[in-house]
Structure 1
Amino acid sequence: MKAVVHTGYHTFPSLKEVDKPTPGPGEVLLKVAGAGACHSDVAIFHEFDEGLNPQMDPEFVLGHENSGWIEELGPGVEGFEIGSAHLVYGPVGCGRCRACTRGQDTYCENAAEMPYAGIGLGRDGGMAEYLVVPARNLVPLGDADPIDAAPLADAALTPYHAIKLALPKLNGGGKSVLVIGLGGLGMIGVQILKALTGATIIATDMKEEAMAEAEKLGAVTVPGGEGQVERIREATGGKGADVVLDFVGVGATVKTAMQSVARQGRVSIVGIGNLSPYEWAFLTTPYEAELVNTYWGTVEELHEVVDMYKAGQIVPQVTRYSLDDALEAYQALVDGKIAGRAVIVPHQ
């Protein structure tokens, strides 16, 4: 079968012929409906150096945002209907520690012993015609469109997890939340905030077209550049945002976040940027402002994300590509020409 393969660090991926996988005990074979192309993939093949994370050493099939139809059940798997559509939870932990047993494989206590970081992150992913996944990682989609659902596995789950953790700071009237970065995750984050809170949503980005889309979703926008923090504080009546969600995660955006947050507010770093440092200082930070980072989410939360998708509360912005054009999609992602998510559709 055809697959997009990570073949080396600082090396563009290749479209190759690989063996069709066979499901083992506790696994299922999916006929891939859609696979989202994420900036994390670009980081793996474009930015990572050898030795940084051996769990993602090549070769493996890319794609950690996946959906598909069940094609075959592995030994011991019951309760699934052949042909039914499912979304795939990407993290894969040991399955036996406390974190994994509560569905939070992202924080697996034995992660260092795992041979990979997740599906499409060291273990073969969904940029292929077929994909093998643990049965416990499947979330049913019912009659919902599985192709447009593919990005939900990361681009919606990741902001959903961060937002749920921040909800206590947004309870009550007169609250505000700042979204920094309006890429795939940030734009869905605006939709989730609109559905779950009554807070004023302020969104900031360097791209005018992205801010225009955020305004259609109900956000107040502030352009990046000179005077950005002052305009954000003006939009919050001078006090700052009760919650800031940074979907970029570079030193400059973390600094903007910390300058824009209210006293006793919360800054959540969601984006994994270029790992540039942020310099913290006591007297330049609002008192009792929390600075945390979050990573992906739980399988239970992915079920909740699918519920929101079915209810029309989350509508991913998707551009579809064939598997033959997958490398073109990744190049467009590298060049910053993708709005929302590129989704690879192997079976047109």
Structure 2
Amino acid sequence: MKAVRLHQYGQSPLVEEVAEPTVSGPWDVIVDVGAAGLCRTDLHIIEGQWDPIQHPSLPYILGHENAGWVREVGSAVHNVKVGDTVIMHPLTSCGLCPACRVGQDSHCENATFPGINVNGGMAGQLLTNARAVVKLDDGLEPRDVAALADAGLTAYHAVRKAAGDLFPGTHAVVIGAGGLGHIGIQALAAITSATITVVDRSEEALELARQLGAHHTVLSFNDDQVEQQVLDITGGGAHVVFDFVGEKSAELLAPKLLRNRGSHYVIGYGGAVNLPTIDIISREINVIGNLVGTYNDLVELMTLTSQGRVTLHTAVYPLDAVNDAIADLEAGRLVGRGILVP
């Protein structure tokens, strides 16, 4: 089968022929990939940022946002059957460790992470397991939902965690209306009553944000001016700031947009949060990390998607054009998510 494989950090991945995966365990599921999302994490993987954390053996297949159709199942699999349309939770979890017992799949002690530390889904087929597959409702196509497996799940997970604090009269600020942020905006509109303000450097992205439910938008061209505009809009600062960028000074701006006792949800990454401890204490602000999401988060997100309350804005590329898609993502030419179709 054809696959996108990374051979060396700092170099472009190659499209080449590799062997198809095979079922070797009772809980294995092989999926014919219908679509694989391209994520900024893929850029960080290519740069080598994930090597100290995950130690993948090179070369391996990229792609951690995947959807398709079940091709083959192991002997113990009963939740899906051959031919079902499915989206995959990014991690293949064990179900037995303490984290799995409380539903925290992303923190499974025995998980593999296709596309991060084992072969992923930028290929004709993907090997996953029964605990990772979510059967899709009729009418949902893999290319329309694939990137929701990570970008959507991560954004929804953060909003879901904050939802209890975003009752009527509260303010949520979203930094970054791109691949993750545009889904976070929709999740905020769908499950909270907060007033939503979106900050981005792109007027095109802000126009999309307004279409998706943002009440206010702020064009980011100077941090001091952005800070003043947001403080004016929110009447003194946001109750929750969702930073979907996490680098290029966004991580430094985010805490300045909070009111006292507010929460800074860190979703994007690459930079470093730098807060004086006296500020954290005197203002009683929170910095909250967010890693992917739970299986149930993904089920809930697919429900919202089937109801038409969350939609994914995409640019579709054939698998052979993966490096064109990467170049577009790096250059900021993508609005929404890049999708690779084998």
Unaligned runs of 5+ in 1: none
Contact preservation (8 Å) 1:180, 1:247: yes
SS of the equivalent of 1:245 reads strand
2:211 aligned with 1:216, yes or no? yes
2:339 aligned with 1:338, yes or no? no
Match of 2:316 in 1: 320
Aligned equivalents of 1:78 and 1:330: distance in 2?
37
Aligned equivalents of 1:155 and 1:67: distance in 2?
13
Name which of 262, 265, 269 aligns with 1:268.
265
Contact preservation (8 Å) 1:246, 1:254: yes
Q: Deviations over 1:309-337 (max 9, x none)?
A: 00001100011111122222122222222
Name which of 228, 245, 263 aligns with 1:248.
245
Match of 1:168 in 2: 164
Q: CA deviation at 1:251?
A: 6.8
Match of 2:144 in 1: 148
Match of 1:236 in 2: 234
Unaligned runs of 5+ in 2: none
Match of 1:27 in 2: 28
Task: Output the amino acid matched with 1:48.
Answer: Q
Aligned equivalents of 1:94 and 1:29: distance in 2?
17
Q: CA deviation at 1:57?
A: 4.0
Match of 2:296 in 1: 300
SS of the equivalent of 1:184 reads coil
Aligned equivalents of 2:54 and 2:180: distance in 1?
26
Name which of 252, 255, 259 aligns with 1:258.
255
Q: Deviations over 1:64-122 (max 9, x none)?
A: 000010111123323422111000001234432111233322112x35xx6x5x01111
Task: Output the amino acid matched with 1:308.
Answer: L
Name which of 193, 196, 210 aligns with 2:188.
193
Task: Output the amino acid matched with 2:39.
Answer: C
Task: Output the amino acid matched with 1:17.
Answer: E
Contact preservation (8 Å) 1:176, 1:242: yes
Match of 1:291 in 2: 287
Match of 2:125 in 1: 130
Count of aligned positions: 337
Task: Output the amino acid matched with 1:69.
Answer: W
Aligned equivalents of 2:273 and 2:268: distance in 1?
14
CA 1:57–1:9 in structure 2 vs 1: closer, same or farther (change >3 Å)?
Answer: farther
Aligned equivalents of 1:250 and 1:9: distance in 2?
21
> What TM-score, normalized to structure 1?
0.92
SS of the equivalent of 1:52 reads helix
Contact preservation (8 Å) 2:106, 2:291: yes
Q: CA deviation at 1:276?
A: 3.3
Computed over aligned residues only, the root mean square deviation of the Cα atoms, in angstroms, reads 1.8
Task: Output the amino acid matched with 1:136.
Answer: R
Q: CA deviation at 1:213?
A: 0.9
Aligned equivalents of 1:306 and 1:94: distance in 2?
22
Task: Output the amino acid matched with 2:272.
Answer: S
Q: Deviations over 1:163-188 (max 9, x none)?
A: 111112212x3111000011110011
Task: Output the amino acid matched with 1:305.
Answer: L
CA 1:62–1:69 in structure 2 vs 1: closer, same or farther (change >3 Å)?
Answer: same
SS of the equivalent of 2:82 reads coil
Aligned equivalents of 2:91 and 2:240: distance in 1?
27
Contact preservation (8 Å) 1:169, 1:265: no
Task: Output the amino acid matched with 1:254.
Answer: E
Aligned equivalents of 2:281 and 2:244: distance in 1?
20
Contact preservation (8 Å) 2:62, 2:122: yes
CA 1:277–1:283 in structure 2 vs 1: closer, same or farther (change >3 Å)?
Answer: closer
Aligned equivalents of 2:28 and 2:103: distance in 1?
17
Contact preservation (8 Å) 1:29, 1:70: yes
